[in-house]
C-alpha cells in the first residue's frame, strides 16, 4: 500500500455563488464538503487510480468526526483501490478550509484556518503509529503544512524514519519544513515554481531544481503551473507540457500531480511516463469541481498527448 501523511488535515468546504462581490451578501447556490489537506487529496486520487492507500495524520473534535465520516464515505464509494483511515485522534478541533467559487469568472477565493495545536503526547502517538504503518508501505508521501505544536523539523524526522525502513519517500511542503526536510535526503521533492525559487534563490526552474538536488533531494519534480512539470534526477532532466490549456479551478492540481508521480513510481514506470501521468492528472483536476477529484475522460484523452522532452536551462 501507499501511505500518505497529512499532519494538518482539513474539512474542505466549497461554496459556489453567482458572483463574488466585496461588502455584499451572497446567496450560495451549492455547498460541497470533502476531506481536505494535501495528503488526503493525493490519497483519493491514488485510490481512483487503483492503488490501495492509507491516510494518516491527525483528526479531532466535531470537524475531525465530520472529516472521518467523509473518508468512510469516499472509501465505500471507491470503485478501484482501497482507502483506509489511520488518522491519530487529538483533543483539538480539525481545521476547516473554505473556498468560495465565483461562477461568473470561475475564480476561487480560499480561506484556510491554521489548524489545532498538537500536544507533545499527540506527536509521540503519531510517530509511533507512523513507524507501524511504514512496515507495510511501498511508498510514503509527506504532504502539506505543519499544524501549531509540531516541530519545524518534523518532516526531516519522518523522512529519516522512512529511509531507515527502506521505504521510498516523497516530500511536498514549503518554507522552513521544506528547507529542513530536504536535508534529510528524501527520494523525491515536489515543489511548485515559487517554492523552488524560495528554496534555492534561483528563478530559472532547471537551475533551481539542480540546486535543490544538491541540497539533498535524490530527485526533484517541480510543478510549473499551466506550463507542466520539470523533473531532475541524478542522470537526466525532462520537461513535460500539457497539449492544451485547460480552463477551470486549479485547486488540488498539484496534489493530483503527486498522486500521478507516486502511482507511476509504484508501477516502476520510467521517468518520462511518470511525468506524463502527473501532468495529465493535474490538467484533468482543473476540470473537476473539487480537489481530490479529476475528470477521467479528460485525463484519458490528454495522457497520450503530453509532450515529454529533455530539459535545458532558459536564460
Task: Please tell me the distance from the alpha carbon of residue 290 to that of residue 267, in angstroms, as a whole number.
Answer: 26
Q: 245 phi and psi, to 5 degrees?
A: -80, 135
- Annotated catalytic residue 255: yes
Question: Buried b vs exposed e over 228-250: b needs ≥16 C-beta within 10 Å?
Answer: bbbbbbeeebbbbbbeeebebbb
Please return the burial class of 112, using the count of CB atoms within 10 Å of its CB with bins 0-12, 13-18 and 19+.
middle
Residue from 255, 273, 293, 295 carrying the catalytic annotation: 255
Could you identify the residue written with the cell 464509494? 77
Task: Please tell me the distance from the alpha carbon of residue 234 to that of residue 120, in angstroms, as a whole number.
Answer: 38
Task: Give the residue among 112, 121, 137, 66 at the shortest CA–CA distance from 88.
Answer: 121
Task: Give the residue among 242, 259, 260, 246 at the shortest CA–CA distance from 288.
Answer: 246
Residue 109 forms beta bridges with which residues?
100
Residue 309 forms beta bridges with which residues?
239
Cell of residue 146, nine digits: 505543519
Task: Please tell me the distance from the alpha carbon of residue 116 to that of residue 70, in angstroms, as a whole number.
Answer: 19
Cell of residue 306, nine digits: 503530453
Contacts of 191 (CB under 8 A, 6+ apart): 172, 174, 178, 199, 212, 220, 222, 223
Task: Please tell me the distance from the alpha carbon of residue 57 to that of residue 150, in angstroms, as a whole number.
Answer: 11
Query: Which active-site residues does the annotation give?
Result: 255
Amino acid at each position: 500500500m501507499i501511505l500518505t501523511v497529512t499532519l494538518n488535515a482539513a474539512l474542505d468546504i466549497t461554496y459556489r455563488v453567482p458572483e463574488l462581490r466585496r461588502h455584499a451578501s451572497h446567496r450560495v447556490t451549492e455547498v460541497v464538503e470533502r476531506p481536505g489537506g494535501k495528503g488526503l487529496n493525493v490519497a483519493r486520487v491514488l485510490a481512483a487510480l487503483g492503488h490501495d492507500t492509507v491516510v494518516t495524520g491527525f483528526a479531532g473534535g466535531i470537524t475531525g468526526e465530520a472529516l472521518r465520516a467523509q473518508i468512510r464515505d469516499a472509501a465505500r464509494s471507491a470503485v478501484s483501490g482501497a482507502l483506509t483511515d489511520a488518522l491519530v485522534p487529538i483533543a483539538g478541533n480539525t481545521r476547516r478550509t473554505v473556498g468560495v467559487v465565483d461562477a461568473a469568472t470561475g475564480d476561487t477565493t480560499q480561506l484556510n484556518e491554521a489548524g489545532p495545536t498538537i500536544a507533545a503526547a499527540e506527536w509521540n502517538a503519531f510517530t509511533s503509529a507512523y513507524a507501524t504503518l511504514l512496515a507495510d508501505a511501498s511508498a510514503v508521501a509527506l504532504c502539506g503544512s505543519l499544524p501549531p505544536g509540531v516541530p519545524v523539523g518534523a518532516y526531516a524526522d519522518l523522512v529519516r524514519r522512512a529511509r531507515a525502513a527502506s521505504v521510498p519517500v516523497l516530500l511536498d511542503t514549503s518554507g522552513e519544513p521544506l528547507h529542513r526536510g530536504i536535508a534529510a535526503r528524501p527520494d523525491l521533492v515536489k515543489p511548485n515554481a515559487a517554492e523552488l525559487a524560495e528554496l534555492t534563490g534561483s528563478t530559472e526552474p532547471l537551475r533551481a531544481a539542480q540546486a535543490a538536488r544538491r541540497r539533498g533531494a535524490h530527485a526533484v519534480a517541480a510543478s510549473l503551473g499551466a506550463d507542466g512539470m520539470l523533473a531532475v534526477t541524478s542522470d537526466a532532466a525532462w520537461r513535460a507540457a500539457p497539449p492544451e490549456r485547460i480552463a477551470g479551478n486549479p485547486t488540488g492540481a498539484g496534489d493530483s500531480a503527486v498522486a500521478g508521480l507516486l502511482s507511476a513510481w509504484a508501477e516502476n514506470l520510467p521517468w518520462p511516463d511518470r511525468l506524463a501521468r502527473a501532468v495529465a492528472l493535474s490538467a484533468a483536476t482543473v476540470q473537476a469541481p473539487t480537489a481530490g477529484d479529476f475528470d477521467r475522460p479528460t485525463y484519458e484523452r490528454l495522457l497520450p498527448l503530453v509532450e515529454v522532452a529533455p530539459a535545458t536551462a532558459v536564460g
